[in-house]
Structure 1
Amino acid sequence: MGLKRGLCWSSVVVLFVLQCVRLTAATTALPNCSYPAVFAFGDSLSDTGNSIAAFPEQFANAELDPNGVLFPTHAADRYTDGKLLLDFLAFGVRRRPIYPVLRGTGGDFTFGTNFAAYGAPARTVKVWRKDAGFNSPFSLDVQHQWSERYKIRVWFYESPIFNPPGRLVQSLPKLATWNESLFMVWSGYQDYFYSLYDKKLTVSQTRKIVPDVVKAIEEHIEKMLTPVVYIPPNTPSMIMPIANTILVVNLPPLGCIPAMLTLYGGPDAKYDIHGCLKNLNSITKHHNKLLGERMEALRVKYPDAKLLYGDAHGVYTDILKHPSKYNVTAPLKACCGVGGSYNFNPKVTCGHAGLVDGKFLNLTTSLPALPCANPSAHLSWDGIHTSNTFNKAAVTDFLTGKHITPAGGFGCSPDFTFWDSST
């Protein structure tokens, strides 16, 4: 009888513990990743149409095939085969694609705005010439000015004095939700890549600009976190809302990019175990280390802000280490390109046609044709920009707490419903 009582009591204890575990799990379930709006700053890795809106001839191929063969199945002002990192981020936090601030027609800004621009460096552009290659004057300081002006315009649309109800209607996020929104900064790639691509700087000279590039990014983040007093006409002054949650993304390894491997590779070059160029990778490693240190310092300086650091370099390296895990079979080759060991030729790049050694090459194919047999097998879309495969892997990791600091990252449950959608 005593044994039976003991067994019964043990069963009660076990059931009680199991119930407690269930209750604890229920109460600690992560909330949905959901933000009122998403805003982005950066270069061609994030731009969805700002530079082509400003310079339609210079960046014409951004809206031409074969860009966008996977999403939205036609070229949509993105230099990739499908979704940008920004697109996956927006979908993952229950938003829709984010339109560029310079979009002149058909833009829906309800869920945020994109300030990133093709060819935009982190550092301030002091001298710029029209049609000077893949460059634009829209550096981070200009993009910040756009965002500040954007807030003022939102205020005007919301003001019953300057915009009586029903007079002007615009699809915009509420100004009051600015500090609840998600902001992404992915910048610096332009500063290094095109300095090397156009041979304006040597590798050693490029390495020396790292502190200035990181400083420009840091200053941009501080501006986003600093309240600004605005004095509307004939009304009391007000303090404009600031960003509170900012994801800062570091840079992928330059020495693994097909264009760089083509231009700087050769018998005298030094390669790592993945076949990437060591001297170029040292640039991005230096950049990422310094940027990570500055992010730690900013967290101390701005303890009320949520400053996240996304390790794109770590994701890229993981895929190089375990390509089969990601179904990647051509990690160092461009999908949309032609020639050489890395499927890249600077004379005829993706979205263009021309002669190379007397042979006509056409890289403007459209659906149902594809620029390569399997775009998902590549980390680089056109030898310069990241592919849908990489962008998807990076955001998947960021939203699930991998390759992101502080530990736990966003601390919410993402939405992968539209991960592979084409619309």
Structure 2
Amino acid sequence: MAIMIAVMFVLFTVGIVFQAEAANFTCPTAIFSFGDSLTDTGNYASAFPAPPYIKFHSSYEKAVSSGRLPYRACNGRLLIDFTAQAFKFPFLDGYFKDIDPNYQHGVNFATSSSTARNTSEASPFFLSTQISQLIKFKNDALSSSDSNLPATEAFSTGLYWISIGLNDFLRAFAYSGLSLDQINVTLVPQVAQFISNAVRDLYNYAGARNFIVLNVPAVGCLPSVVSSLGTGAANSTDSFGCLHALNEVVQSYNSLLKTSLQQINQVISDATITYADYYGVHRESLSNPQIYGFQSNATLLACCEDGAHYSGPAAHCSSTATTCTNPSGYISWDGIHFTEAFNKVVATKFLEGTFIDRAINLKTTCSLDFSQF
């Protein structure tokens, strides 16, 4: 009985805290986004406009040739695109866009191939660099009268979206030569620390108060990873066909990230830091694919190329590649990145207040519009 009363008290207390957060929450008038190719809406293309850009990120080429949104590693809209639409904002222009950018409702600093840590062979735009870009952007915006820039209050009430870390793990698993135990001991705390540092710096130097931080999806379930790394010590698969050992490392990281964010939130208690479970939605979609419109026999297949497992970066999703006849039935677009259909599922879950650790239903609280989904 005493234990039950204690548990009820804790749940009641947490409920009060969440209700207070919801009551004090200010719906954003802008979104500031940080991340990698899962979030990039054109920065990599602008920063590296000449070959080998097309060769390096040929999945964009296929999307452009199909008349889809340009410069996205997807067959359509990304998670951040759906989020912007729900708030009735235009799609976020990239920080590097040099022709007629509209930043009134936010800026996207996410750049493909970026890592959370300050280490990357493919991109110099680490998370800390993206944070520095935001701080410079804010300082420039506050001294400008340009109507295409965010209002001053947007920087304190804006939604700061952080989705990064995938490349840290992809490179570690494929190229580092470290064992999974070594990755768990070294890289896992490093990535969590860099993201916690980013939240702290945005709070201190940009006035950020409202964060959504995404964990890393199930790397061991990505078709490219299953195809290329499913041998040797990491070849044990689970009931979905995913690489179990790799996902254990990712789960270890996700758990530590959540704990780290909770700890920093105790220090900056006037901030709302929402932890979003990308991994959870990914696994849920694998577990119940037909509920979300995905083909049960294609959960570990890539749509772009020939519907088979990803077969290498030189060819996947180039303008000459073939695609599956029903992209909306696939979770994976090109073996690494997700389809528009999956991105829609994730956006809907997060914005409706599921698979997140806060009792804030943004759809209801901010009267979000899903009619364009």
Q: Same fold (TM over 0.5)?
A: yes
2:5 aligned partner: none
1:155 aligned partner: 142
1:352 Cα offset (Å): 2.9
2:44 aligned partner: 51
2:342 aligned partner: 390
* CA offsets 1:196-217 (integer angstroms, 9 cap, x no match): 3446545444333111011001
2:69 and 2:76 in contact (8 A); partners too? no
- Alignment partners' CA distance in 1, 2:194 and 2:181: 20
With over 3 angstroms needed to count, the CA separation of the structure-2 counterparts of 1:75 and 1:415, relative to structure 1, is closer
Matched, 1:40 2:27: no
- Alignment partners' CA distance in 1, 2:65 and 2:87: 24
Matched, 1:415 2:369: yes
With over 3 angstroms needed to count, the CA separation of the structure-2 counterparts of 1:200 and 1:142, relative to structure 1, is farther
* CA offsets 1:112-135 (integer angstroms, 9 cap, x no match): 10011111100113xx6xxx5xx1
- Alignment partners' CA distance in 1, 2:335 and 2:160: 27
2:133 aligned partner: 146
Matched, 1:121 2:89: no
1:26 aligned partner: none
* CA offsets 1:335-379 (integer angstroms, 9 cap, x no match): 11347xx431015433337xxxxxxxx31x6xxxxx111101111
Matched, 1:189 2:166: yes
With over 3 angstroms needed to count, the CA separation of the structure-2 counterparts of 1:154 and 1:222, relative to structure 1, is same
- Alignment partners' CA distance in 1, 2:194 and 2:151: 29
Letter in structure 1 aligned against 2:340: N
- Determine which of 350, 353, 364 is the counterpart of 1:401: 353
* CA offsets 1:379-409 (integer angstroms, 9 cap, x no match): 1111011221221111101111110112335
Q: TM-score, normalised by structure 2?
A: 0.85
1:313 Cα offset (Å): 0.8
State the SS of the aligned residue for 1:152: helix
Flag structure 2 segments of 5+ consecutive residues without an equivalent.
1-21
Matched, 1:223 2:201: yes
1:214 and 1:290 in contact (8 A); partners too? yes
Mapping for residues 63-82 of structure 1, pairs under 5 Å: 64-67=60-63, 73-82=67-76
Between Structure 1 and Structure 2, the one with more helix by share is 2
1:179 aligned partner: 156
State the SS of the aligned residue for 1:46: coil
1:53 Cα offset (Å): 1.2
Mapping for residues 5-404 of structure 1, pairs under 5 Å: 34-56=27-49, 57-60=51-54, 61=57, 64-67=60-63, 73-125=67-119, 135-158=122-145, 169=146, 171-198=148-175, 201-208=178-185, 209-226=187-204, 228=205, 241-266=206-231, 269-329=235-295, 330-338=298-306, 342-346=308-312, 348-352=314-318, 362-363=320-321, 371-404=323-356
Flag structure 1 segments of 5+ consecutive residues without an equivalent.
1-28, 159-168, 229-240, 354-361, 366-370
* CA offsets 1:289-324 (integer angstroms, 9 cap, x no match): 001111111221121111111111111111111111
- Alignment partners' CA distance in 1, 2:24 and 2:248: 39
2:301 and 2:335 in contact (8 A); partners too? yes
* CA offsets 1:158-200 (integer angstroms, 9 cap, x no match): 3xxxxxxxxxx45111122211111100111111113334465
1:42 and 1:140 in contact (8 A); partners too? yes
With over 3 angstroms needed to count, the CA separation of the structure-2 counterparts of 1:292 and 1:83, relative to structure 1, is same
Higher-Rg structure is 1
- Alignment partners' CA distance in 1, 2:315 and 2:39: 19
Letter in structure 2 aligned against 1:175: T
- Alignment partners' CA distance in 2, 1:202 and 1:68: 39
Q: Which runs of 4+ in 1 moved over 4 A?
A: 29-34, 61-64, 198-202
Calculate the aligned-residue CA RMSD, in Å.
2.5
1:36 Cα offset (Å): 1.1
Letter in structure 1 aligned against 2:347: V
- Alignment partners' CA distance in 1, 2:161 and 2:85: 14
State the SS of the aligned residue for 1:248: strand
State the SS of the aligned residue for 2:82: helix
With over 3 angstroms needed to count, the CA separation of the structure-2 counterparts of 1:69 and 1:315, relative to structure 1, is farther
1:102 Cα offset (Å): 0.6
1:33 and 1:414 in contact (8 A); partners too? no
1:349 and 1:382 in contact (8 A); partners too? no
With over 3 angstroms needed to count, the CA separation of the structure-2 counterparts of 1:306 and 1:324, relative to structure 1, is same
1:65 and 1:74 in contact (8 A); partners too? no
Letter in structure 1 aligned against 2:137: Y
With over 3 angstroms needed to count, the CA separation of the structure-2 counterparts of 1:217 and 1:348, relative to structure 1, is same
* CA offsets 1:31-85 (integer angstroms, 9 cap, x no match): 9995211110111111111122111224324685422688xx3351100111111
- Alignment partners' CA distance in 2, 1:278 and 1:101: 37
1:273 Cα offset (Å): 1.0
- Alignment partners' CA distance in 2, 1:182 and 1:345: 37
Query: Identity of paired residues, percent?
Result: 29
- Alignment partners' CA distance in 2, 1:203 and 1:403: 27
